[in-house]
């Protein structure tokens, strides 16, 4: 009986480690996102669709849909340069961040939610 319980516990733990996805994205708060944005040089990438981007985006953000994120390797060769990502909820940005980290980028941050970031975006000083 004791061995059966240990066996079931071992199977449960193994199953959870297989089911739980591994995430490489470093999620940051809106405050951390804007603090990172103050560091130079940086890149802000909106990973939503071009249609979503055209309806509004953060100042200085470029649009690279998450499924096309690997294309930035030709433009942004410095893999230590901070890259700030966001989308509607954070899920697509997380996928893009994982892809970038698999390509060797080391300073990738997921700001997640566009609406929260837009609402707290600092205004440029004239």
CA 103 – CA 99 distance, rounded (Å): 6
- 50-54 long-range contacts, CB within 8 A, separation 24+: 52/88
Q: How far apart (Å, rounded) are the C-alpha atoms in residues 65 and 41?
A: 21
Q: Give the dihedral sign, CA 95/100/104/108.
A: negative
> Alpha helix locations (H) across 24-124?
30-38, 50-54, 91-102, 114-120
126 in active site: no
Kindly name the residue from 25, 58, 87, 117 that is annotated as catalytic: 87
Active site positions, annotated: 87
């Amino acid at each position: 009986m004791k061995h059966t319980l240990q066996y079931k516990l071992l199977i449960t733990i193994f199953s959870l480690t297989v089911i739980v996805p591994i995430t490489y994205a470093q999620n940051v708060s809106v405050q951390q996102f804007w603090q990172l944005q103050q560091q130079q040089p940086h890149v802000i990438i909106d990973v939503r669709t071009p249609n979503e981007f055209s309806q509004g985006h953060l100042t200085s953000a470029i649009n690279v849909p998450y499924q096309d994120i690997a294309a930035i390797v030709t433009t942004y060769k410095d893999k230590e340069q901070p890259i700030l990502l966001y989308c509607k909820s954070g899920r697509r940005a997380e996928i893009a961040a994982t892809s970038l980290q698999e390509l060797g980028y080391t300073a990738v941050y997921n700001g997640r939610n566009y609406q929260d970031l837009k609402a707290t975006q600092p205004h440029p000083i004239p």
